[in-house]
Each structure stands twice: as structure tokens, then as C-alpha cells.
Chains A and B, each alone.
Chain A
Amino acid sequence: MSKYLSDPALLRALVQPDRVHRDVYLDPGIFELEMQRLWRRTWVYVGHESQVPGSGDFHTADIAGQPVVMVRDADGALHVLLNRCAHKGSKVVGAKSGNCKGHLRCPYHGWIYRPDGSLRSVPLKGGYDGTRFQQSEAAKGMTRVAHAEYRGFVFAKLSTTGPAFEEYFGDSLSSIDNMVDRSPKGRLEVTGGVLRYMHHCNWKLFVENLNDAMHPMVAHESSAGTARDLWKDHPADEPKPMVIEQFVPFVSNYAFFDGMGVQVYDNGHSYTGVNFSIHSNYAGIPEYERSMVDAYGAERAHAILGEARHNTVYYPSLTIKGAIQTIRVVRPIAVDRTLIESYTLRLVGAPDSLLERSVMYTRLINAPTSVVGHDDLHCYRAIQEGLAAQGNEWVSLHRNCVDGEAEASVGRYNGTNEIAMRGQFRAWARALSADEVGV
């Protein structure tokens, strides 16, 4: 048993206002506590409703170490179920996604469930006559999980404890709004495949990095810097290939990343790119802009497209980039292993060139073959291994920290401030120190 489970004071001491103890990234017992007290008690991203458009469509995911299936019933309603047969525990759905033709059927003994998880039939049911089956958990069917849909994004909460959805995400949902509003039809569609990149590091190192504005010009000098250098002799007004347009802003200077700004919300959520971002200066697509003006009117269309938020972190499981319509989903597997799944979204009603841009971006940045991803992961791995060093047990989060910040940190700050990470750890510490009994 982890020493932190039996000693709440020790657990609380791991997170201080401006530094965290290395064990938050290294200790397998802490990882178990994170799964129980943070991941299972908060709203974790499952998938997008466009992945299950029709009756009987399903999509599976492993969230907080548990298999779930999202399935649409004949009335169009979505259900999120634990993907576990009530009989002997087999995963009922084996495929990543597909259509269940009305009912979910266990491959082992043929128990059949309705899309809402209730048990419809069991072969040779007479064998249960006179037993306590009807009073048992098995008769209840597949376990239903609380879920919430927000403009197509589906989140689930495995525990019966924890905050309500709107209370948990609050105003951070404006980033999802902005991504959806970028569709002239107000609708997104997941398309173009999923990149699955295994990260041999703690999940928090990935999540923290999304709003870390001090690393790009250093970590990505070799990739984005090379792209910049290869293009440097071209006239400034020459249209840039998409590759150059997407890579080069990563090596913008410190003033740029600081000026970008960061917005911090409660519960660990935040986004960088309050004022502008690395996505601000992409070439215009006149046909798209016209369709947006037609759909929303000029003023509203410009307001929507004027936002260029960088990464929004929906702590702890989802990060989105509205301005380029890509999302990254965080699936922790072990204390030092995290699967990152990246998806692209089509803006329904927009020209293909927008999807083309999203597809290129996710390949350049999020793929296991990405030169940007390689250097990020190298740094996460280097931290995971470097923290083994004795002598300094603390990770510094001091940048721009002010006294009393913890009491009222919601707001806008300079982009290179480490306040987004401190906010994540405050949410983390709150969740982990809640020792109430909950499933």
C-alpha cells in the first residue's frame, strides 16, 4: 500500500503553492490514487457524438483504466456503459467502433443487452429459476455511467460522487463553443482517423506542456527552426506552403509567447492564446469566410474567427485546439505510460481546405512520426528519468507566482506564467486529498 494512502498529511505536502514533489510523477501508489480520486470522480472525455451518428452505433474507450462503450439507441439517445458483461465480466463489445444492430451481445455466453445496458435475455433462462439471480447485480445488466454531452463532446464520470458537469467546466466551455461556432452549420464531425502515440511518461507531463509557453522556442528549435531557415530566402509576401506556415510560429520569440496570454479557470482548466497565438496568421480562406458571414452575419463571424486560442486544457483528459480543429485525448495507463490519441474534426459546411489544414497539422505535430512530438516526448522522458536524481526532490513552478494566488487565480495572465500548471496541481491536490468514501 502506498505510504500516501495511509498518511493524508504526507499526501497534502506533495503540492505546495509554487512547487510540487517529484513523487507526483514517479510513485505508482500516487497513480492509483489519481485514478480513484481524480479521474474517476471528474468528467473524462469519452468521444464525440459524430462517432456514433446512427441507431446502434457504438464507440469504445478506456477511461481512467476502465473499459466503456458509448452507444446510441433507436430513439437517438446516447448511453455510456461499462463495457463489462454482468455475467462473468467479459468485455461485451470487442471492436473499437461499429454498429451493434440494436443490441449488445456478449461473445462468451450470448447474454444480450439493450443499448441502455439493461439485460434483455439470457440463454436457457430456466437454469436460474429458484436461484438468487434476480436479486443479484448480474440481473441489473451492464453498469450505466453518468455522462454529459456538450455541443457534441461526450464526457463521463465513473463515480457517483464529484461535481456536476457545468459546475466542473464552467466558462472553459467557451473554447468548445468557439470550435463548434467555426462551422457555418454549427456542427463538428470527427473524421480522418486517429493517431495513437504511446508516451512513456507520466500523464501530467503531457498535460502541463500544453500551456507551457516557455518550451517551444527551445525544444522545437531543430524542427520549426529548420523549417524557418529553409524558407528564409523567400520574399515575405510569397504565399507560404502549409508546412512552413504551421511549423515556423513554434519558434516565435519569448515576447510572442508571453504576449499570447493565458486564461486560467477553476478545476485545472485553462487556455493559452488569449490575445493571439501560433494559429493567428494562417492564410485566409475567402470561400470559408464568406460562408461564415452568410451563416452568422459579419460582426459575429469576425468575432468567432478573431479568436485564435492555442491549447485549451479540459483537465485532466482532453485538450483542444479550436483554431485548427484538432483534439488530443489523454489516456493514462501507468505512472510512466500514457496513450495520447489525436483526432481531427471537420467543420460541417466548410470547404475541404480546412480539413486539409487540420490533417496536416495533426500529422506534423501529434503523430508518432512528428519531429515536434519527438522532441516533446524526449523532454517528458528526460524528466521521468531525471527525477530519479537525489538531492532535489522538488519541481519548480515559481514563474510569476504571487502570494495568495491560490485563493483567486481565475483570470488572465501573461503567457509564460506557470500559473496554469499551478492551477492544475491545486485541482489535483483538492481531488486527491478528498478522502470521502466514493466508488
Chain B
Amino acid sequence: MSGVVSDHELVEFVYHEARLIDEKRFAEWLDLFTEDGLYYMPLTRDQPDGRLHTSLYYEDRLLLKVRIERLSHPNAFSQSEPSWCQHVLQAPRIESRSESLVVLRTPYVYAESQGDRQDIYLAVAWHHLCLREGPLKMKMKKIDLLNRGAALPSIQLFL
């Protein structure tokens, strides 16, 4: 992407990213990550990192690819009744911006539904977007789940 990326484009990226998940356009979604992109949901507040501390998600592209391809596997038994999800976003705000990186903060509600069951989560997403040449990409999507310490049921899609 040449020239200056407008605030509007950055905010639109965040809305678009959530929509791709909700519409299960996972190949397009995966393509929003940089090659070294990370999808990260810490397990605790003030967690130092995802390498020596357990996380709910700490996924590189390879692991995301396993998840995504599995979802369409005929024997993904936990998806024999498919899950669907819905993000409801508060307006994203730009938290910081440098030459190469912009960070947006977006509080949101996420619902995941399967059969008669629906689970509702509250979270804050931190989109770390890479501003180098080429299309806008996520270097990291970090998700602070409100009830991350709770005993959780299966979470099967992507917040």
C-alpha cells in the first residue's frame, strides 16, 4: 500500500476482519496476517508472553492453517453440528501509530452458537497492523478476554 494509510482505512480493516470470521471466509482471513503474524489470546492478565506461559490462543500461521483446514474436514466431529459466530464491535480507536506499525483497540461482544447452545463473550481486540509496502496486514491480533480465568466451555471459532 503506497502513501499514507488513512484512519478510515485502518478502522475499516478491523470491521472487515471480524466480518470475514463471521462469514467463515477463513482463507481470506488467514491472508490478513503477515507471514510472521500471530493470533494471541493470553490466559492471564499481565501475562509476560505466550512462550513460557500458557495461552488460550498463541497461533502462528501454520497452526491457524491446521485449525482452518480442520473446520472443513469431514471428520471434525465437534463440528458435525457447525458452530457459527457473530462479532459486535464498538468503534475501533487508534491507540498508537509509528512509521511501520499502528495499533487499534476495539472492545466487542462475541457470540458463538452451536445447535441449541449460545455462548457470549466480551473482549478487547488489539490489532497490530503493519504499514509497510503492500496491502495492510495484521502482525498480531491480541485478544483480552474478559472472563479468561473462568472455567470455559469449548471455544471453536475465532474471536
Chain A residues within CB distance 8 Å of chain B: 191-198, 200, 219, 221-223, 225-227, 229-230, 241, 243-244, 247, 339, 342, 344, 352, 355-356, 359-360, 362-363, 367-369, 371, 373-375, 377-379, 382
Which residue of chain A is the closest to B55 with respect to CB atoms?
A: A363
Do B73 and A198 have beta carbons less than 8 Å apart? no
Residues of A contacting B41 in the complex (Cβ-Cβ under 8 angstroms): 369
In chain B, what residue has the closest Cβ to A331? B151
Is the beta-carbon distance between B151 and A198 smaller than 8 angstroms?
A: yes
- Looking at B67, B73, B150, B154, the one whose CB has the most chain A CB atoms below 10 A away is B154
Q: Would you list 30 pairs from A and B whose C-beta atoms are within 8 A, ordered by A residue?
A: A192-B52, A196-B150, A196-B152, A197-B151, A219-B77, A226-B66, A226-B73, A227-B66, A230-B62, A230-B65, A243-B63, A344-B54, A356-B51, A359-B50, A359-B51, A359-B52, A359-B54, A367-B54, A368-B152, A368-B153, A368-B155, A369-B41, A369-B155, A371-B66, A371-B70, A371-B78, A373-B154, A374-B79, A375-B76, A375-B77
A367 and B53 within 8 A (CB): no
Q: In the complex the two chains form, what is the Cα distance from A221 to B79 in whole Å?
A: 13
- B75 proximity list for chain A (CB < 8 A): 221-222, 225
Most chain B CB atoms below 10 A, which of A194, A342, A352, A371: A371
The answer to whether B53 touches A193 (Cβ under 8 A) is yes
Nearest CB of chain A from residue B78's CB, rounded to whole Å? 4
B44's closest neighbor in chain A, by CB? A193
Those 4 A-B pairs whose CB atoms lie nearest each other, nearest first: A374-B78, A222-B73, A378-B78, A222-B76
Chain B residues near A344 (CB-CB < 8 A): 54
Contacts of A368 in B (CB 8 A): 56, 152-155
B152 & A198 in contact (Cβ 8 Å cutoff): yes
For residue A223, which residue of chain B has the nearest CB?
Answer: B70
* Given A221-B75, A226-B73: A374 touches B54 (CB 8 Å cut-off): no
When chains A and B are docked, how far (Å) is the Cα of A175 from the Cα of B66?
32
4 additional A-B pairs beyond A243-B60, A363-B55, A368-B56, beta carbons within 8 Å, are A222-B73, A359-B51, A359-B52, A359-B53
Shortest Cβ distance from A94 into chain B, in angstroms? Answer: 14
B122-159 interface mask toward A, CB cutoff 8 Å, 1 = contact, 0 = none? 00000000000000000000000000011111111000
Write out, one digit per residue, whether chain B residues 58-95 have a CB within 8 A of any chain A CB (1) or not (0).
10101101110110011111111000000000000000
Residue in B57, B63, B66, B153 whose CB lies within 8 Å of A200: B153
- How many chain B residues sit at the interface, stated as a range, is 35 or more
* B118 contacts partner chain A, Cβ-Cβ < 8 Å: no
Scoring B residues 18 to 61 as 1 if CB is less than 8 Å from chain A, else 0, what string do you get?
A: 00000000000000000000000101100100111111111010
Q: How far is the CB of A239 from chain B (nearest CB, A)?
A: 13
**Cross-chain contact of B43 among A195, A200, A247 (Cβ < 8 A):** A195
* B contact set with A: CB distance below 8 Å: 41, 43-44, 47, 50-58, 60, 62-63, 65-67, 69-70, 73-80, 149-156
- Which residues in B have their C-beta under 8 angstroms from that of A375? 76-78
For A382, the chain B residues whose CB sits under 8 A away are 77
Interface of A is mostly: helix
Q: Are A247 and B54 in contact (CB under 8 A)?
A: no
Smallest CB separation, B33 vs chain A (Å)? 16
Which residues of chain B are near A244, meaning CB under 8 Å? 62
Q: How far is the CA of A379 from the CA of B78 in the complex (A)?
A: 8
Chain B nearest CB, measured from A384 CB (Å) = 14
Q: Is the CB of A223 within 8 A of B156?
A: no
In the bound complex, CA of A191 to CA of B76 (Å): 32
The answer to whether B150 touches A223, judged by C-beta atoms less than 8 angstroms apart, is no
Partner of A374, one of B53, B55, B156: B156
Rounded to whole angstroms, the CA-CA distance of A222 and B154 in the bound complex is 16
CA distance A229 to B66 in the complex (A): 9
CA–CA, A3 to B10, complex, Å?
65
Provide the bound-state CA to CA distance between A227 and B55, in Å: 20
* Inter-chain contact B66/A363, CB cutoff 8 Å: no
Contact A367 B78 (CB under 8 A): no
Asked if A369 and B54 make an inter-chain contact with CB atoms under 8 angstroms apart, the answer reads: no
- Tell me, in angstroms, the Cα distance from A363 to B47 when the chains sit together: 15
